Amino acid sequence: MTFLILGLILWAAAHLFKRLAPGLRARLGDPGKGLVALALVAAVALMVFGFRTADFVYLWEPPRFLIHVNNLMMLGAVFLFAADGMRAPIIGGMRHPQLTAVKIWAMAHLLVNGDLASVILFGGLLAWAVVEVIVINRAQPVWTPKPVKPGANLKAVIGTVLATAILMAIHGWIGPHPWP
């Protein structure tokens, strides 16, 4: 669990670095982007390694029907990512679509995983996403929506279907299976 927790801390620190230490981040310039990217790659590696090697500590047995709820929530999360990346008009007025997607993704995974490592991983990422939104909103209370691209709604739906199929295939390959 140590690597999992260290990965979560590094993930949060790398993402919050710009907001919590703006002067230092500005002094680092473009090389600072590379350092943050390297920290994020290391964070993901630590989280994956820590999660995969953690002892299974049973907390509860999720009901099987929650798999369907999880899958539906995942569609929403993937759609928010796709729609934001494509600047779809459907989410044009939403301030944090990707962080909202992370929150939905984390909650969906908490519904279907009843072990301690899952609670730490998905609960930790949920907590990070909530804190990130609060910190961004305090740092930039005035917000201007991004310009949207006409026709991007359909592209976002197509992207969601493709990305979901890929995610389900990867889950089917490495486990756990995302369908009952």
112: amino acid identity, one letter = V
Considering the entire predicted model, what is its pTM? 0.92
Confidence of residue 177 (pLDDT cuts 50, 70, 90): confident
pLDDT > 90? residue 163? yes
pLDDT in tens, 66-83: 999 999 999 999 999 999
User: DSSP letters of 42-92?
Assistant: HHHHHHHHHHHHS---B-----TTHHHHHHHHHHHHHHHHHHHHTT-GGGT
Q: How many Cα neighbours within 13 Å face the side chain of 74? A: 22
Stated as kind and residue range, the H or E segment containing 4 is helix 2-20
pLDDT, average across residues 118-144: 96
Residue 58 dihedral angles phi and psi, to the nearest 5°: -70, 130
- Residue 178 is predicted with a pLDDT of 77
Output the pLDDT for position 39.
97
pLDDT of residue 176: 81
In the chain, the amino acid numbered 141 is: P
